[in-house]
Amino acid sequence: MTGWMAHESFSLEREYEVSVSRVFAAWEDVEGRALWQKPAAHLHLVYDRADFRVGGRDVSRCWADDESDAYQAIVHYQDIVPDHRIIMSETVSKAGTHLASALVTVEMCADNGGTRLRLTLQIVGETNSEIFAGYREGWGALIENLALHFEAETTS
């Protein structure tokens, strides 16, 4: 036995100056997601499979130029209510080694002419793993990148 698993939960919130339908559409659009869901500019993100629907599954890989092995994320969509919420489970591995599993809830609601998004993650991973810091940093960057995505749409 390798020891106990570690658990962590956290929520992030962000306001966007666009409609709820635009925020939801950004999650539906796999080509757009491949751009704004990269946690950092030096990373590559590729979707090998994308099936955004209840019961659907996404498979993606993320890596830096100096890495030989990519992180693989497999997402299963549990519940999708257009313009309201997305509930998905995610499993992350690297080089065939399971690193973490998470339940991810994305909630969207209209707020002062824009949208308030709340992202909640419930994660389980190896006790000595740095995966929790990676989740906080990565998902934090993701919701900020989404704001930049909307700004770029507005100016183009």
Structure confidence at residue 12 as a pLDDT band (50, 70, 90): very high
The maximal CA–CA distance of the chain, rounded, in angstroms, is 55
- C-alpha torsion 118→134→41→145, nearest 10: 0
Q: What is the pLDDT of residue 68?
A: 79
CATH of residue 72's domain is: 3.30.530.20
Global model pTM greater than 0.85: yes
Determine the residue type at 18.
V
- Tens digit of pLDDT for each residue in 64-118? 888 778 999 999 999 999 999 999 999 999 998 899 999 999 999 999 999 999 9
Q: What is the pLDDT of residue 1?
A: 46
Number of domains in the chain: 1
Give the structural domain span for 51: 5-155
